[in-house]
A and B are shown apart, each in its own frame.
Chain A
């Protein structure tokens, strides 16, 4: 299976409530990424795991958390959703040294009301 799977495809959340998005891959990729995509904007890198090491971008450091309990699975956690979190969240994975750029899942569309 050469796909990245994201769950759920669509999610509705209330302002102030937590949100947890899930991503998995069975390609034995050592790196897993989370991007936020809003209309007419570039996919924004939020954070990525290389193996067990979490790297978070400076401007989103406090807004998003993540966990990677094993090689195949990675989650994105928002502690308290705000309206500005409404977006498509894209998970991707790659293997360092494979000379292949990250492959994406289908995304989770989050709507915060």
Chain B
């Protein structure tokens, strides 16, 4: 079965608003989480990652929230801009074992 799931295939947000992207995972052993940005026909670019010893990490307009008991993490993008329009992939894995699995992605569209 799929180890990492993104239940929303798409999301549309008004410019200046907050984009919230969600991700669920199955394996209790996962302790390493990340978000990537992907354009069509390009490879994923790492945006932000977090270990399970924290429940939140901020980097500029990006914030990752981690809910380990719910096996859920999310990416919040504040002050969303049209340039944020892309597919966002979440990923999770076991940092000790080094496996790393991806979700299908959520296509974010930011409308001017």
Contact = CB atoms under 8 A, between A and B. Distances in A.
B98 A31 contact: yes
Given A42-B2, A43-B89, A101-B32, A50 B98 contact: yes
Contacts of B4: 42
Contact of B95 (A44, A96, A107): A96
Contacts of B43: 88, 90, 104-107
Q: How large is the interface on A (under 10, 10 to 19, 20 to 34, 35 or more residues)?
A: 20 to 34
B2 A102 contact: no
A92 B98 CA distance: 12
B45 interface: yes
Given A99-B49, A100-B49, A101-B46, A55 B102 contact: no
B34 A45 contact: no
A33 B103 contact: no
Instruction: Please list the 6 inter-chain residue pairs (A to B) with the smallest Cβ-Cβ separation, ordered nearest first.
Output: A101-B34, A101-B49, A104-B43, A42-B104, A43-B102, A42-B102
Interface of A: 31, 33, 35, 40-45, 48, 50, 55, 88, 90, 92, 94, 96-97, 99-107
